[in-house]
Amino acid sequence: MTNKKSDLSRRSFLKMGGVAGVALQVGAIAGAGLEAGQDKDSYTGWQGREGETQFVDRSGLEIDGPAYEAVGPTRRPNKTTEYIFGRAYMFHRALRGGEDSAGWNPEDGPEALDEPLRSFYLDNPEALAADLKREQEILPQSQEHHEKYDPFFRLAEAWSDGWSDIFRSYPRRPQSPPIESDFDGVHEVKLQPRSPEMAAELIKTVAHHYGATLVGICKLNPDWVYDANVVGGSREPFEVPEHWEYAIAIGVPHEWDQVLSNPAHGTSYDAYARSAVASGRIAAFLKSLGYPARAHHPPGTYDLIVPPILVDAGLGQQGRAGFVLTPETGANFRAAVVTTNLPMKVDKPIDFGVSEFCMHCKICAEQCPSGSISFADTNEGMTTRGYRHWEIDTTTCFNFWESAMGPMGCRLCIATCPYSRKNNWVHDMVRRASTADPTGQVDKAMTWMQKKTFDVPDVADYLPPPDGRFASYRQAPKWLDVEHWFDIDVINPQKGG
Q: Could you tell me the pLDDT band of residue 39, with boundaries at 50, 70 and 90?
A: low
pLDDT of residue 32: 60
Asked if 336 and 298 count as a contact pair (C-beta separation under 8 A), the reply is yes
Mean pLDDT of 332-342: 98
pLDDT of residue 433: 84
Q: What is the DSSP string of 290-313?
A: T--EEEEBTTTB-SB-SHHHHHHT
Q: Could you tell me the pLDDT band of residue 47, with boundaries at 50, 70 and 90?
A: low
pLDDT of residue 405: 93
Instruction: Give the 3-state secondary structure of residue 139.
Output: helix
pLDDT in tens, 112-132: 999 999 999 999 999 999 999
pLDDT of residue 404: 94
Query: What's the rounded Cα separation, in Å, for the pair 435 and 450?
Result: 18
Sheet with 246-252, side-by-side order of all strands: 214-219, 246-252, 334-340, 293-296
Beta strand 214-219 pairing with 317-318: unpaired
User: ω before 299 within 30° of 0 (cis)?
Assistant: yes
Mean pLDDT of the chain: 90
| DSSP run (H or E) holding 324 | strand 324-325
Query: What's the rounded Cα separation, in Å, for the pair 67 and 348?
Result: 9
Q: Could you tell me the pLDDT band of residue 45, with boundaries at 50, 70 and 90?
A: low
Mean pLDDT of 398-414: 95
Query: What's the rounded Cα separation, in Å, for the pair 373 and 321?
Result: 6
Asked if 267 and 258 count as a contact pair (C-beta separation under 8 A), the reply is yes
Query: Is the pLDDT score of 109 beyond 80?
Result: yes
Mean pLDDT of 278-302: 97
Domain boundaries, the chain: 69-79+163-423+455-495
Q: Could you tell me the pLDDT band of residue 258, with boundaries at 50, 70 and 90?
A: very high
Asked if 76 and 225 count as a contact pair (C-beta separation under 8 A), the reply is yes
Residue 173: count other Cβ atoms within 10 Å of its Cβ.
13
Between 196 and 434, the more confident residue is 196
| Range scoring the smallest mean pLDDT among 277-281, 369-373, 406-410 | 406-410
Asked if 106 and 132 count as a contact pair (C-beta separation under 8 A), the reply is yes
pLDDT of residue 3: 46
Mean pLDDT of 43-61: 76
Mean pLDDT of 390-415: 95
